[in-house]
Amino acid sequence: MSVINIQNLTRDYGAGRGIFDVSFQVEKGEVFGFLGPNGAGKTTTIRHLMGFIKPKSGDCWINGRNCWRDCSEIQKQLGYIPGEITFFHDMSGREFLKFAADYRKLGKNNRIGEMLERFELDPKVKIKKMSKGMKQKLGIVAAFMHDPEVLILDEPTSGLDPLMQNRFVELIAEEKKKGKTILLSSHMFEEVERTCDRIGIIRNGKLVTVDSVETLRQRHMHTYTVTLPTPEMAQAFSEDFDGVCSGVNVTVSAKQSLETIFMNYYGGEQDA
């Protein structure tokens, strides 16, 4: 049984807005990247998984539990970072984390100290005085503090500097090794390439592809034949660019970056 299971999920807001017949699964121990521009349907899909929205048609489950009917039980075992984090701004970071820990009935056996140290966050600062990056770090600490088995992360590194983004990528790699199941929505292509096993790309509310990063690259690989003046030059060229030499002709293959592949789905009139 898949840990996250979405089947024919539809929410039509009219005028072509919403999500339409979206289906995909995320397996135990897998990091699944969910890509699409703003308004494509990523957050709407995630809000269904969190039980914030009731499906118009179709359904979704986490660990066999229905996301709408069993949302309170699901959320006890879930780590979540929303795309737009809202806090009680009169609290300090420490007060907010204590509130969250009390809500989850966490004792001293939690990861708050570890996460604060990893992301170099001073929890004594009032939230209203925190920068966007500091608030994002606080959201990360809150999502991971109870060591959940399933994580749903909507733009989790928004506002973080490159050093903290890298630490987050390292954290995701560690969690994956522990067998955690992670759905990661992100605009950071390098982040997705470094962490995700498979990727789903959503366009205008419809899922246009679900594949591994390597399969996507193979599918979008381009092959070129280059003709050189002499066989010796052709041989040297083939060695430099890992090509196949035949006389003065060299055949080379070029894999596209994930960002280029993504733009193939969004930049042209047809899906690539």
Closest CA to 245 of 253, 236, 254: 236
pLDDT tens string 158-192: 999 999 999 999 999 999 999 999 999 987 788 88
88-97, 141-150, 256-265: which range is least confident on average?
A: 256-265
Rounded Cα gap, residues 249 and 246, in angstroms: 5
How many angstroms separate the Cα of 232 from the Cα of each of 136, 242, 243, 252? 56, 15, 14, 16
Output the pLDDT for position 220.
Answer: 66
The amino acid that residue 146 corresponds to is H
CB 69 within 8 A of CB 143: no
Query: CA-based diameter of the chain, in Å?
Result: 75
Residue 272 — very low, low, confident or very high, per pLDDT cuts 50/70/90? very low
Rounded Cα gap, residues 172 and 179, in angstroms: 11
The two three-digit tokens of residue 229, written as one number: 């003046």
Q: What is the mean pLDDT of residues 58-76?
A: 95
CB 36 within 8 A of CB 58: no
Question: How many other CB atoms are found less than 10 A from the CB of residue 205?
Answer: 23
Asked if pLDDT for residue 268 goes beyond 60, the answer is no
pLDDT tens string 194-236: 899 999 999 999 999 898 877 777 776 778 899 999 999 999 9
pLDDT tens string 115-147: 999 999 999 999 999 999 999 999 999 999 999
pLDDT tens string 244-260: 999 999 998 777 777 77
Closest CA to 144 of 121, 175, 167: 175
Asked if pLDDT for residue 271 goes beyond 70, the answer is no
